[in-house]
């Protein structure tokens, strides 16, 4: 696999150890386009993360779920992350996967530019992605193409912006809770 210049850890050298080599080898046999689909594979702190290019995400997800030698049946969690200094790759989505059949755990990570925050939805692959993709949209503004109902899940429908992004204003926004207002952070009471 070619080694692009990416933020974070570089690709880990093979062999990875444990079942990680078997998972990657099996995935490569089941999905022949894997070398162009994976930007890098990182083993850190005993966990394998495959950095997938967004145009291959859905196919890689189907292969991980459906191949009898892999069987990653469960999407444990899907999380959005905002790295504003990672130019051209500001928004990341992390997928925690578990194979209950083989008792294995891996992670997928996909990045998209802030200017084009589109990813394919994986709700049809793992139904547990439904509310989690809605949360990533609501909090980070990541658009999951093909999601059955991509609407806000935590914030009111008319809320401006996406509050978990690092460029979102911190405090100082008048927010009312049953008649009370929340003062800006520098005007709040301090507890020692």
pLDDT-derived band at 180, boundaries 50, 70, 90 = low
On whether residue 89 sits in a domain, the answer given is yes
pTM, two decimals, is 0.85
pLDDT score at 186: 75
Q: Which domain holds residue 112?
A: 20-168
Q: Is the pLDDT of residue 192 over 70?
A: no
CATH number at 44 reads 3.30.460.80
Establish if 134 belongs to a structural domain: yes
Q: What is the DSSP string of 49-74?
A: EEEE-GGGHHHHHHHHHH-TTT---E
Look at the chain and report how many structural domains it folds into: 1
Q: Which of 133, 120, 146, 41 is nearest to 78 (CA)?
A: 133
pLDDT of residue 158: 85
Q: Domain for residue 184, yes or no?
A: no
In a domain, 13, yes or no: no
- Phi first, then psi, for residue 23 (nearest 5°) are -60, -50
Is 7 part of any domain?
no
The verdict on residue 182 lying in a domain is no
């Amino acid at each position: 696999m070619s080694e692009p210049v990416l933020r974070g850890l570089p690709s880990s050298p093979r062999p990875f150890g444990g079942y990680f080599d078997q998972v990657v080898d099996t995935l490569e046999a089941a999905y022949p386009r894997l070398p162009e689909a994976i930007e890098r594979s990182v083993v850190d702190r005993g966990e394998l993360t495959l950095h997938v290019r967004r145009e291959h995400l859905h196919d890689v997800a189907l292969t991980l779920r459906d191949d009898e030698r892999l069987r990653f049946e469960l999407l444990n969690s899907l999380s959005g992350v905002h790295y504003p200094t990672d130019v051209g790759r500001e928004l990341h989505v992390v997928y925690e996967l578990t194979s209950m059949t083989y008792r294995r755990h891996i992670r997928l990570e996909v990045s998209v530019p802030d200017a084009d925050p589109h990813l394919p939805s994986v709700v049809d692959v793992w139904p547990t992605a439904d509310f989690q993709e809605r949360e990533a949209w609501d909090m980070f503004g990541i658009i999951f193409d093909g999601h059955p109902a991509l609407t806000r899940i935590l914030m009111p429908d008319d809320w401006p912006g996406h509050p978990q992004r690092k460029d979102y204003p911190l405090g100082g926004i008048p927010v009312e809770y049953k008649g009370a207002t929340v003062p800006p952070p520098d005007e709040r009471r301090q507890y020692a």
